């Protein structure tokens, strides 16, 4: 972990999608929406109505944070949390000893040039004293936090290690969405270890050793990198690696009754509709990523896309929040008003932009906590997805 960072705490989160049975009468509707990858053309700048929840054959896991949480209390979030020094521990070398001769323990190489990689991935962890690559450690962090918060343990049993190693060598380890192998472990054992890992994150490596399992880092695909904007959520600011994982079926799930007070498996469109109905609150990154997932109502299509796209890399996103007419506009990289200096000291000049000019937009409009929409008329980098953007009503036109 990078203890030299002054303003940021490194973290990892996991977007976990899992399949459910789909009614035969909806099979024909599970086709990707247009303008899915790379281009805002062909769908009115990515705009479309959200697909009906019956179109989805998978759900996404969301966890409700405690009202006592120091960061985003009561929010529904993806599982995840702060990286711990134990995620970079040399003890993992023994757990992954069969994969030590493979770069990044068999994870596929990212094509993105090193100079454009987000620092959270590009930082040389050996220079910081850890033999565990960041690509591996942040996946371990996401898996550990998911286990702590939801009880979902994504691991590979030791007896499957040889076949996994061959799949890694053959480059086909990510061909199919995996099953949750931990469901075969005794619930009493998992409950005991979950308590121990919650007490001390370093017990995660000990658990893997004693249960003879490997954290399934290969099932997690790089998805994005969000940074907390200045002056929005208190003094805590996080540099968070986002991963995505698709499972064949929904695993046994249980909140920890401490930091997490409730869990919910729902389709992406169902979550967005519940948010707009003020049934619960989600933060802008969750809103954006769930809107992206609405492009793929099919689990297999989502898995294929996320697996294929992950080797392209990702862009670091630090939202720059502008206040205008009692509304908030969260500018994202690529927006024509996004400042070159993101320290917060540079004022964004909005006076020279015509109100009718909708070119070069990449922003989140926040009218109130439960009224958020997206404006995206740019081409996403690294072959990523455009979010599904519902048409703006007359009272939601961009104030910039």
Token reading at 70: 């120091």
CA distance 299 to 20: 9
> Would you call 59 helix, strand, or coil by DSSP?
strand
Given a cut of 50, whether residue 45 has pLDDT beyond it is no
Higher-pLDDT residue of 184 and 148 is: 148
Q: Smallest Cα–Cα separation from 264: which of 275, 40, 400?
A: 275
Query: Residue 373: pLDDT band by 50, 70, 90 thresholds?
Result: very high
pLDDT, residue 32, reads: 53
Give the residue from 41, 370, 383 showing the smallest Cα distance to 224: 383
Comparing 19-23, 66-70, 223-227, 308-312, the range with the smallest average pLDDT is 19-23
Residue 23 reports pLDDT greater than 60? no
Confidence class for position 183, pLDDT limits 50, 70, 90: low
- Residue 253 burial (CB count, 10 A): 18
Contact by Cβ (8 Å): 9, 237:
yes
Burial of 210-229, coded b for 16+ CB within 10 Å and e otherwise, reads ebebbbbbbbbbbbbbbbbb
Mean pLDDT along residues 262-291:
95
Give the side-chain half-sphere CA count within 13 A for 289.
Answer: 25
- Tell me the pLDDT band of 42, cut-offs 50, 70 and 90: very low
Which sign, positive or negative, has the C-alpha torsion 66, 152, 370, 341? positive
Predicted pLDDT at 394: 45
Q: Helices H, strands E: what count in the chain?
A: 9, 15
Q: What is the pLDDT of residue 235?
A: 63
Q: Tell the CATH topology of 9-20+51-317.
A: Nucleoside Triphosphate Pyrophosphohydrolase (3.90.79)
One-character DSSP codes across 350-395: -TTS-TT--SS-EEEEEEETTEEEEEE-SPPGGGPBPPPBPPPPGG
Decide if 209 contacts 95 (C-beta within 8 A). Answer: yes
Return d(Cα 272, Cα 289) in angstroms, integer.
11
- Cα 148 to Cα 204: distance, rounded to the nearest angstrom: 10
Residue 54's contacts (CB-CB under 8 Å, 6 or more residues apart) are 22, 23, 26, 29
Q: How far is CA 167 from CA 109, 170, 276, 325, in A?
A: 15, 5, 43, 55
* pLDDT confidence of residue 351: 57
pLDDT at residue 398 above 60?
no
- Provide mean pLDDT across the span 110-136: 94
What's the average model confidence in pLDDT over 191-217?
Answer: 95
Rounded distance, CA 91 to CA 111, Å? 29
């Amino acid at each position: 972990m990078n203890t030299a960072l002054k303003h940021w705490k490194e973290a990892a989160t996991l977007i976990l999608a899992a399949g459910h049975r789909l009614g035969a009468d909806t099979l024909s509707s599970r086709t990707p929406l247009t303008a899915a990858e790379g281009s805002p053309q062909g769908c009115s700048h990515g705009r479309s109505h959200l697909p009906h929840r019956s179109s989805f054959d998978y759900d996404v896991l969301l966890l409700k944070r405690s009202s006592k949480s120091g960061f985003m209390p009561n929010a529904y979030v993806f599982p995840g949390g702060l990286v711990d020094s134990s995620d970079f521990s040399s003890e993992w070398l023994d757990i992954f000893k069969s994969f030590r001769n493979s770069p990044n323990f068999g994870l596929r190489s990212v094509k993105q040039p090193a100079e454009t990689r987000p620092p959270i991935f590009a930082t040389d962890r050996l220079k910081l004293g850890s033999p565990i690559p960041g690509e591996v450690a942040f996946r371990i962090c996401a898996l550990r936090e998911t286990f702590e918060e939801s009880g979902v343990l994504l691991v590979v049993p030791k007896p499957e290690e040889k076949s996994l190693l061959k799949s890694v060598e053959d480059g086909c380890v990510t061909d199919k969405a995996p099953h949750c192998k931990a469901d075969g472990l005794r619930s009493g054992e998992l409950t005991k270890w979950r308590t121990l890992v919650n007490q001390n994150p370093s017990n995660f490596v000990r658990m893997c050793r004693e249960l003879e399992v490997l954290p399934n880092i290969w099932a997690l695909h790089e998805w994005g990198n969000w940074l907390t904007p200045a002056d929005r959520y208190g003094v805590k600011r996080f540099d968070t690696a986002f991963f995505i994982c698709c499972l064949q079926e929904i695993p046994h799930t249980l909140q920890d009754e401490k930091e997490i007070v409730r869990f919910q498996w729902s389709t992406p469109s169902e979550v967005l509709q519940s948010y707009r109905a003020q049934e619960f609150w989600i933060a802008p990154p969750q809103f954006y990523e769930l809107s992206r997932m609405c492009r793929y109502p099919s689990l297999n299509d989502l898995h294929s896309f996320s697996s294929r796209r992950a080797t392209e890399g990702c862009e670091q996103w630090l939202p720059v929040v502008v206040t205008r007419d009692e509304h908030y506009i969260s500018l994202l990289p690529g927006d024509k008003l996004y400042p070159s200096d993101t320290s917060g000291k540079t004022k964004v000049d909005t006076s020279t932009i015509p109100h009718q000019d909708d070119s070069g937009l990449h922003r989140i409009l926040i009218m109130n906590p439960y009224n958020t929409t997206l404006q995206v008329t740019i081409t996403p980098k690294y072959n990523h997805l455009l979010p599904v953007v519902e048409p703006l009503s007359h009272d939601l036109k961009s104030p910039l």
